[in-house]
Structure 1
Amino acid sequence: MVSVQESLTPLGKPYIDLIHNDSLDKQARVEHELTQSDIVLLLNSASIQSSPWVRWEIDTAEQLGIPVKRVDISGVAPTYKDMLSVIEG
């Protein structure tokens, strides 16, 4: 995950739940961060299809008009250029 964070840092201030969420009410923190976001980068993994929480995040982002961009990680952390390509694409 740190590699993903390093790839995103030049593009802005990323929030990665597994790294940054030290709140007592973790769900409220995710909701707050989401409402403050300009874009959501969804790292494709096997678990996102079955996660109701990920579905909620995607649905909420779409309702708020926040673009959701999927990033294929294929077992390898994406580079800065990969992230930029997804954002611009």
Structure 2
Amino acid sequence: MKYFISYTTRDKIISLDFLTSVNDMFSEYGEVYIDLLHNNSINKQQRVFEELEKCDEIILIETESVFKSDWVKIEIEKAKELQKTIRKFTYAELIQKVNKGINNKRMKVIC
């Protein structure tokens, strides 16, 4: 399983430490792509689209500003075009899951 993590850093609660914890948690179940952690490409925008095409599921981290982010909107629309599964977690849910571990059967599919 390959996961693409979609988020915005407009909300200051999305920190490098938090994203690293999310990466570690989902890495137990497959490959993970988090732009802030993994995108060392020269053409960063192209890399995002390539990773979206390669992934099996998009994990959307829902925060107050997530749907105000143009990039998140682009990622979600592209994921829908590619007929990818999108699973939404609030920040609070992920903090709990980071602390307890993840249960795939409880993930909520939004598209």
TM-score (norm 1): 0.86
Q: Secondary structure, in 3 states, of the residue corresponding to 1:18?
A: helix
CA distance in 1, matches of 2:95, 2:83: 29
Matched, 1:13 2:31: yes
Higher helix share: 1
Q: CA deviation at 1:64?
A: 0.5
- Which residue does the alignment assign to 2:5? none
Aligned residue runs from structure 1 range 1-89, under 5 A = 1-74=19-92, 76=95, 78-79=97-98, 80-81=101-102, 84=104, 85-86=106-107
Q: CA deviation at 1:52?
A: 1.1
Question: How large is the Cα RMSD of the aligned pairs?
Answer: 1.9
TM-score (norm 2): 0.71
Q: State the AA in 2 paired with 1:76.
A: I
**Gapped regions of structure 1 (runs ≥ 5):** none
Identity of aligned residues (%): 30
Structure 2 SS opposite 1:68: strand
Q: If each structure's strand is expressed as a fraction of its own residues, which one has the higher value?
A: 2
Does the 8 Å contact 1:3/1:77 carry over to 2?
no
Distance in 2 (alpha carbons) for counterparts of 1:3 and 1:77: 11
Unaligned runs of 5+ in 2: 1-18
Q: CA deviation at 1:77?
A: 6.2
